[in-house]
Amino acid sequence: MRSIQFREALREAMCEEMRHDPNILLMGEEVAEYNGAYKVSQGMLDEFGKKRIIDTPIAELGFTGIGVGIAMNGLRPIIEFMTFNFSLVAIDQIINSAAKLYQMSGGQFNIPIVFRGPTASAGQLGAQHSQAFENWFANCPGLKVVVPSNPYDAKGLLKTAIRDNDPVIFMESEQMYGDKGEVPEEEYLIPIGKADIKKTGSDITIVSFGKIMKVALATADELSKENISAEVIDMRTVRPIDYQTIIDSVKKTNRLLIIEEAWPLASISSEITYMIQKNAFDYLDSPILRVTTTDTPLGYAPTFIQEFLPTIEKSVKAVKQIMYL
């Protein structure tokens, strides 16, 4: 099986679907002539032409609204945000139009649209360009929210998202575009709403998603050096959430740590914590802990970034606290 970059997996997903369906198009800032801000759409203008690979002005509210409108009229747009920080400019169209029109029209209008781009921190980008909004969008019924952690999942989930008749928020990471992983050449799809157990274990369950899966898996590796067996679950989608996979794992390990790059209040980890205490309380041998970002806007200095983000060290310490070590 060949190994390709995360950005290449995304490109393959879009190209394969666009070859199959002429109603699919890509729209966003620098996606055409510049080949994408992160080179995800490299070469797509040459293959599909300017009517299907469309450069937009720096006007997220405007081109997001256009995307919703053409989705109502039979096209299947992919809207790329240069970063989901900029999606806040367009959030009215995402929440009040894309997410609600199917219900408000009594089922007359499907909105088959994908909003994709990088989320969360990516180094020294400052407070306004380093925010994670997965839990914001997951809070809104009518949206599906996908956060892949590797090239294989990214391709399979993006193809599924493009085929979905409902709006999908597809969140990536600038720091993952160059990551390599094995991806089959034959077609495959991954269902939205199904978590994946990346590593089996017996002593504690660690749950995460997106690029923080790197921290989760590295934490499990560090724990194994001390004979602590961690089961690691990649949520892959945060709306819908595959609660059952997490519940079943906790019933086996009796302990849970959730690692998430988000502010702690009203986060995805808050939701998982509630659902586990509701459905698996009697199986818990200790309180659930979370490793999240610090509850403050992200500073610019590298020392602030290190202190702000979830780390292997913080996660190992949390596991030992859970296990009373």
- Considering the candidates 8, 12, 29, 60, report the single residue annotated as catalytic: 60
Written in H, E and C, the secondary structure of the chain is CCEEEHHHHHHHHHHHHHHHCCCEEEEECCCCCCCCCCCCCCCHHHHHCCCCEEECCCCHHHHHHHHHHHHHCCCEEEEECCCHHHHHHHHHHHHHHHCCHHHHCCCCCCCCCEEEEECCCCCCCCHHHCCCCHHHHHCCCCCEEECCCCHHHHHHHHHHHHHCCCCEEEEECHHHCCCEEECCCCCCCCCCCCCEEEECCCCEEEEECHHHHHHHHHHHHHHHCCCCCEEEEECCEEECCCHHHHHHHHHHHCCEEEECCCCCCCCHHHHHHHHHHHHCHHHCCCCCEEECCCCCCCCCCHHHHHHHCCCHHHHHHHHHHHCCC
- Considering the candidates 129, 134, 174, 260, report the single residue annotated as catalytic: 129
129 as an active site residue: the answer is: yes
17 as an active site residue: the answer is: no
Query: Which sequence positions are flagged as catalytic?
Result: 60, 129
